[in-house]
Amino acid sequence: MTTSDSTAHIIDGKAIAQETLAEVKARVPLLVEQGVEPCLAVLLVGEDPASQVYVRNKLKRCEECGIRSLEYCMPSDTTEYELLRLIAELNDDDQVNGILVQLPLPDHLSGTRVIDAIAPHKDVDGFHRNNIGGLVQGRTDVLAPCTPSGCMKMLRRYIDDFDGLHAVVIGSSNIVGKPMATMLLAAGCTVSIAHSKTRDTAALARQGDIVVVAVGKAGLVKQSWIKPGAVVIDVGINQIEGGEGKRKLTGDVDFPAVSQVARAITPVPGGVGPMTIACLLDNTLRAADIQNKNRSNVGDTNAHLHAGG
């Protein structure tokens, strides 16, 4: 599990993501044989450079996997009515299986209202309240948030039995922290969530067999916060000064120091990020499959009724 007595195994998110994407690519022809061409619609409002990069990467992965993609680039002054009208049209389009609105949105748009407008069965980001509620209930027929799903895929590579392990999630966002805690609880962990009001986050983190960090504060988690042998998942992506006027990406964890005590750890970049996109495409295929089965069931029911059954 480790490369030496003092250095953690580096969890290669890129490699695991490539395996996931290969599985997605292999499943696409099976749906096509059933008359379904998986399709993802991506909506981008504004010209945020980071969002443009994220959208470009998602569309590129779609092409590589054989998933049809539709890109809607809207100006930053797009009204909420215009955005919601487009979402309604895509909801009604049976040829579109997944809808993704790239976040963050411009300040004048309500992210909550926009997400709630997406049909839950097409919400491939897994943010709709129906999907989050279903996740809490332990349902398997919902679309789960992509980043926590990717984290769980990586954790399962290094942990065979989650029962009774203490998982500490640092960060309580609706996008990562809360659904992550729910997934770990469903896996059998005892779960603690640390947030801005937690009195001694370091002491709590030291109890964790699993520590997932999603705060957005570079280098927050120090070596002294981590119990020897813990598995650490760093979701944070931060830009810091890298010398010579250049910027570099880093996570929420002090990677060089923590890797000396952890059993396994994700790097930034190359850890959670690639898994998020891979799980997005996996959700798109799940959505297409669910919608196809639902249409088939409706057809069977109608045929039964018309036959007088």
Closest CA to 11 of 276, 272, 278: 272
pLDDT number for residue 6: 54
Q: Is 207 a catalytic residue?
A: no
163-177, 209-223, 224-238, 289-303: least confident range? 289-303
Q: Is 125 a catalytic residue?
A: yes
Catalytic residue among 122, 123, 125, 291: 125
Sheet holding 210-213, edge to edge: 9-10, 264-265, 231-234, 210-213, 166-170, 190-194
Reported as a pLDDT band with limits 50, 70 and 90, residue 4 is: very low
CATH assignment, 34-120: 3.40.50.10860
- Which tens digits make up the pLDDT trace of 37-55? 999 999 999 999 989 999 9
Catalytic residue among 5, 14, 48, 58: 58
CATH number of the domain at 145-272, out of 2.40.50.140, 3.40.50.720, 3.30.479.10, 3.10.129.10? 3.40.50.720
Q: What residues does each domain of the chain span?
A: 34-120, 145-272
- Same fold: 34-120 with 145-272: yes
Contacts 24+ apart (CB under 8 A), 85-94: 86/43, 87/43, 87/114, 87/117, 87/118, 88/117, 90/41, 90/122, 91/117, 91/118, 91/119, 91/122, 94/291, 94/295
Q: Is 58 a catalytic residue?
A: yes
Distance between CA atoms of residues 248 and 269, nearest Å: 10
* N-terminal to C-terminal alpha carbon distance within the chain: 59
Q: Which ranges of 164-209 does DSSP label H, i.e. alpha helix?
A: 177-187, 201-205
- Which tens digits make up the pLDDT trace of 151-162? 999 999 999 999
Closest CA to 39 of 70, 11, 65, 83: 70
User: Is the pLDDT reported for residue 303 higher than 80?
Assistant: no
Catalytic residue among 102, 122, 178, 254: 102
